[in-house]
Structure 1
Amino acid sequence: MIAAPRIDESSPYYRGWRVVLACFLMAFFMFGFGLYGQGVYLAELQRAHGWPGTLISAASTFSFLLTSVLVIFTDDLLERIGLRALILCGLSALGASTVLLALVQTPWQLYLAYALMSVGWTGMGTVVIATVLNSWFEQRRGLALSLAFNGATCGGIILVPLLLSLTGSIGFRPAMLTATLAMMVLVLPAVVTFIGWPAGMVPAAGGRSSGSSAPVRSRKAVLANAAFWTMVLPIALALLAQMGFIVHQVTFLEPLIGRSAAGLAVTIMAAMAIVGRLSLGLFVDRLDARLACAVSMTSQAAALFVALQSTSPTVLLACCAVYGFSMGNIITFPPLIIQREIGASAFATAVGLGTSISGIVSAFGPGLVGLVRSLTGNYTTAFALCVVLNLVAAGIVLWRPRRRLQDSHTLSPSP
């Protein structure tokens, strides 16, 4: 019997790194247009059409909730139409969404654009990115996920300022059309050229396979697994607190340190998210993912706690840096925990369900923080609640249920 050759995932010539590049570009434009760009759309559509902010904000909420429902079925779509076709559908939907946002004239067109954006999230979002990279990497999976998901943060740092600059010089409509064209020119060739399953892998399994079809676990079985819930619940609570802080960060900091320093704090936090992902990616494959996740959540709680005690610009900026260092890693841990504890045969199913649940829960973060602030008149109680949520989440994620949804042939052992 001839032993299978060992795959050197650290080699720059390994095809998986080209897949990472394609996933980076997907995350860059999906998060840039689909998340960080929504503030631009709100301002420009209000200016162009005089629509109330509540109408446009409701469209954003509708899109996020629809996305949280659609991602549940990612595993079914991967099996039925295939990986590349799903991504191309997502890319087409996102392109149609941004073009329609540039040309929109009526509210129903606005909601159609945001519905198409939800389809884009389904084809190009975190579930698909995590699933395809899970199939290409074993020893360097954490690094691959960190590099690809850094595209999300870069989308906010680069694409949004670019949209604002173009809007100021040539107008909103030409800016959106130009950015959409750039997305197609960059992402389409990368997807067509690089994206695919590794040779010999069973696509439905979502992980490496030696050839025979492994049974794909049902959603009911995943939901009955304790390891799934001790991962999903803390991630949902941490993202609930995180979304609340991100949205209210400038409003909290501006009276303390001024508008320009508050803007600098946002930039520092986003930059540190990139640094944090890259730093963790170098070591996470050798770490206990649950312990590292708990440390990240605890560090965010500590940063918020210190920020509530200080009015010093230096201390507050440092707190935002510490908070940002762990911010991007919160969505990196779930795929690693799922792969290790639930298994490759249920990977896409579990990631889809987890993303849906955490997405729905975290969507209430900004509203919850805003409500507590309105009731108390300040952010002290609201952010103290976020501190508690982070600490509770850290405690839950450290609980390791004995029952596992793993089978012996979902993933071949590393040679």
Structure 2
Amino acid sequence: MLDNPHHATPTDESSLRYEGWRIVAVCFLLATFGWGLGFYGQSVYVAELQRARGWPTTLISSGTTFFYLFGALLVVFVGEAVRTYGARLCLIAGTLAMAAAAVAIGAVRELWQLYLADAVLAFGWAGTSLAMITNTISLWFDHRRGMAISLALNGASFGGIVGVPLLVTLIGHIGFAGAMYAAAGAMLVLLLPVILLFVGRPPAQHGWHAAKAKPQSSTEIRAWALRDVGFLTVTIAFALVLFAQVGFIVHLISFLDPVIGRERAALAVAVLTAMAVVGRVLFSLVIDRLNQRLASALSFLSQAVALLVVINLHNDYVLIAACALFGFSVGNLITLPSLIVQREFDSAAFGVLISLNTAINQVTYAFGPGIVGALRDWSGGYSLPFYLCIALEVVAAALIMVRGKPKAKLS
């Protein structure tokens, strides 16, 4: 049975002395480098390689799409890896892979080398991003898992706000290759010691240690999940929303530049990113006590309203305010799926289910920027693709409220 019974635990997760909060700090640092080099860094790689090598942007961007798709395939198995080898070894492996990928990208001289580097980067992304962080934190947290994941994932925003500007500054001083080598070195120096020092064996009452004596195999859990209404509604809903969200954010400056100018467009993006941090921190205080499906639906609808304003009202301050509204829920949309899975399914299945959910979402949103761009070129403007994004947000808001049967058995 994959419904989630509530287990009593003597651990005081709210105590600042609880060892789990050190794991949150480690995951924050991991997310900083994971998103800084694996997600936000992609825009830097495309620009620098196009400038230095003169390769077509389309071919370089295809490498990014390959990275997302191959990474999604690897993410499926993150839960099994953590269960088999433990969080400590998996975090070390992810750190080493991400650092190796940074070195490889800096050393690229031929186009085929870029695709090889992107393959290594996919391993690093699988070992430093959402699936790894949620699987790791789930081993230390149950009742305060929402707050723990939310706080750790602020590292993702920090990687974009601080990491990318630092990388760009380094490139200006020591060149692209030197900057990538320096980033890899910093990751190893900062992350490996804290992982070795703070990440040990999780408490026996959390995660898979609390599971039944004979849990289902990962293959059985995935096969069941893909037939379960509750899992499918949360996965499809978030896949649609992340498709819309990533597509909109990637094209935001291109849309705003001719409307309010490059300087204020950049300000709008900065406000959106800052509000993602604010929203995640505020939500972390109450997210474990909310109806998380309803909170998700309201978040989707708030983004739809923001998109509607962006399309139809072109006042500078109104557009910036709409970006702030959109950004408020951006961070929470990568946190909520894991919390819904935790609440509605058994802890023995959590790692496999959240890894599968993350992989499906990643495959979907990998196509978001390309499809939004293609619709923009075909229609001559951003109204059509942004209205599509609104439609997807509304459909997702309805879909997420369909929970399915409260109890389901694995046949």
What is the TM-score with the length of structure 2 in the denominator? 0.94
Residue 405 of structure 1 and its aligned partner are, at CA, apart by 4.5
1:166 to 165, 170, 175: 170
Give yes or no for contact 1:10–1:140 (8 Å, CA) kept in 2.
yes
Counterpart for residue 260 of structure 1: 263
Letter in 2 for 1:30: G
Larger mean Cα displacement after TM superposition, 22-31 or 218-227 = 218-227
Q: Distance in 2 between matches of 1:224 and 1:393?
A: 19
Asked if residue 349 in structure 1 is aligned to residue 341 in structure 2, the reply is no
Give the 5 Å matches for 1:237-256.
237-256=240-259
Q: Distance in 2 between matches of 1:163 and 1:260?
A: 21
Query: Relative to structure 1, is the Cα distance of residues 325 and 5 closer, same or farther in structure 2, using a 3 angstrom cutoff?
Result: closer
Counterpart for residue 142 of structure 1: 146
Residue 339 of structure 1 and its aligned partner are, at CA, apart by 0.8
Q: Distance in 2 between matches of 1:353 and 1:42?
A: 29
Q: Distance in 1 between matches of 2:225 and 2:343?
A: 14
Letter in 2 for 1:125: S
Give yes or no for contact 1:98–1:180 (8 Å, CA) kept in 2.
yes
Q: Distance in 1 between matches of 2:200 and 2:48?
A: 38
Q: Distance in 2 between matches of 1:249 and 1:139?
A: 37
Give yes or no for contact 1:132–1:197 (8 Å, CA) kept in 2.
no
Query: Structure 1: which 5+ runs fail to align?
Result: 408-415
Counterpart for residue 371 of structure 2: 368
Query: Relative to structure 1, is the Cα distance of residues 296 and 5 closer, same or farther in structure 2, using a 3 angstrom cutoff?
Result: closer
Letter in 2 for 1:299: S
1:359 to 342, 359, 362: 362
Identity over aligned pairs, percent: 45
Query: Relative to structure 1, is the Cα distance of residues 201 and 10 closer, same or farther in structure 2, using a 3 angstrom cutoff?
Result: closer
Q: Distance in 1 between matches of 2:360 and 2:367?
A: 12
Residue 79 of structure 1 and its aligned partner are, at CA, apart by 3.4
Give the 5 Å matches for 1:4-403.
6-200=10-204, 206-207=207-208, 209=210, 212=213, 214-216=215-217, 218-403=221-406
What is the TM-score with the length of structure 1 in the denominator? 0.93
Residue 256 of structure 1 and its aligned partner are, at CA, apart by 0.8
Residue 81 of structure 1 and its aligned partner are, at CA, apart by 2.8
Q: Distance in 2 between matches of 1:80 and 1:5?
A: 24
Give yes or no for contact 2:82–2:135 (8 Å, CA) kept in 1.
no
Larger mean Cα displacement after TM superposition, 250-259 or 131-140 = 131-140
Give yes or no for contact 1:131–1:207 (8 Å, CA) kept in 2.
no
Residue 211 of structure 1 and its aligned partner are, at CA, apart by 8.0
Larger mean Cα displacement after TM superposition, 365-374 or 237-246 = 365-374
Give yes or no for contact 1:342–1:406 (8 Å, CA) kept in 2.
no
Q: Distance in 2 between matches of 1:196 and 1:369?
A: 44
Q: Distance in 1 between matches of 2:386 and 2:98?
A: 34
Give yes or no for contact 1:235–1:393 (8 Å, CA) kept in 2.
yes
Give yes or no for contact 2:72–2:359 (8 Å, CA) kept in 1.
yes
Give yes or no for contact 1:122–1:128 (8 Å, CA) kept in 2.
yes
Q: Distance in 2 between matches of 1:36 and 1:8?
A: 36
**Two-structure CA RMSD over aligned residues (Å):** 1.8
